[in-house]
């Protein structure tokens, strides 16, 4: 097969998201791809589940069969060089195991695991056997895991209510096999995140931004983190930048539906839309509107 891209522009880092598809595109694969693009990276995606959801919450899940997920991953890794992987919703143990096998078979420098257990609306996004497998097997294959407070409680079995308990949970998760952990305290009074890499604890401060009514913040944080790691940043620097990105994207979020607000992933590239009803006609000779009317 001839190589069509021998003359092409150099490609940016290619990032893989392994996650569920959200039709409202505020969370999951779509949020990941938008975040990758906003960081100047090219995103590819393997879909773990087709969800039935809108901004008003998750109604139903149709999990991808593990063999299909495996096939998606195989075809991608044979074709493109993957700089980093972001893992989101997995659905069940079989899909989690397929991802672990994929990570074992291929050396990928940066693996960000967002241990998604439930949706904000309470839908279960990983079955019990999957949670056990994630804790015992998948966690130790990731460069960093990014649980929120509820996920940190579920994974450690301990209460996580303040910064001190977040640090204790991060340490416990590293004892349990994680290489590095960022416990996200977005729902606390002061939105502090706690990073523990096995050696030192870093507190990532932040001002409280109203996150209750936003959709896909966890996806965007983990994806921005993966992008920053792929671009060569250290973990604490990547985490600081990813957090700043999400805070700003939350601040700029806007309603597209009747439920929660998706983030503005592209707040840096804001292009003013034309005023309604004004459609500019391109003024070059090839456009029919630019031709003199034939009488």
Q: How many CB atoms lie within 10 A of CB 273?
A: 6
Kindly report the CA angle at 232 between 226 and 238, in degrees rounded to 5? Answer: 50
Instruction: Judge residue 216's burial from the number of C-beta atoms within 10 Å of its C-beta, 0-12 exposed, 13-18 middle, 19 or more buried.
Output: buried
Report how far Cα 55 is from the mean position of its chain's Cα atoms. Answer: 17
Could you list the active site residues? 184, 214, 216-219
- Sign of torsion over alpha carbons 5, 76, 221, 178: negative
CA distance 97 to 133: 8
Q: Is 190 helix (H, G, I), strand (E, B) or coil?
A: coil
Q: Greatest CA separation found in the chain?
A: 83
Q: How many CB atoms lie within 10 A of CB 224?
A: 27
For residues 182 and 146, is the Cβ–Cβ distance under 8 A?
Answer: yes
CA distance 283 to 290: 6
Strands (E), 88-180: 110-113, 144-145
From 40, 38, 44, 46, select the one nearest 15 (Cα to Cα): 44
């Amino acid at each position: 097969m001839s190589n069509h891209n021998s003359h092409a522009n150099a490609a940016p880092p290619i990032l893989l998201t392994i996650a569920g598809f959200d039709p409202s595109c505020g969370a999951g694969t779509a949020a990941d791809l938008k975040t990758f693009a906003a960081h100047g990276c090219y995103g590819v995606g393997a879909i773990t589940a087709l969800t039935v959801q809108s901004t008003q919450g998750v109604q139903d899940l149709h999990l991808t069969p593990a063999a299909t997920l495996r096939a998606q991953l195989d075809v991608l890794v044979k074709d493109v060089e993957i700089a980093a992987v972001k893992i989101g919703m997995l659905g069940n143990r079989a899909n989690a195991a397929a991802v672990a096998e994929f990570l074992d078979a291929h050396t990928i420098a940066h693996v960000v695991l967002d241990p998604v257990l439930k949706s904000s609306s309470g839908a279960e996004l990983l079955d019990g056997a999957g949670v056990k497998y994630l804790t015992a097997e998948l966690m130790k294959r990731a460069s960093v895991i990014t649980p929120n407070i509820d996920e940190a409680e579920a994974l450690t079995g301990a209460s996580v209510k303040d910064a001190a308990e977040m640090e204790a949970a991060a340490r416990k998760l590293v004892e349990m096999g994680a290489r590095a952990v960022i416990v996200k305290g977005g729902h606390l009074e002061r939105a502090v995140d706690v990073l523990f890499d096995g050696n030192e604890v870093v507190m990532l401060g932040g001002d409280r931004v109203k996150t209750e009514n936003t959709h896909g913040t966890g996806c965007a944080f983990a994806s921005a983190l993966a992008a920053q790691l792929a671009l060569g940043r250290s973990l604490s620097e990547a985490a600081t930048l990813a957090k700043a990105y999400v805070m700003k994207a939350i601040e700029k979020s806007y309603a597209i539906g009747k439920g929660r607000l998706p983030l503005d992933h592209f707040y840096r590239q804001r292009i003013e839309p034309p005023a309604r009803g004004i459609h500019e006609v391109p003024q070059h000779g090839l456009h029919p509107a630019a031709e003199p009317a034939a009488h």
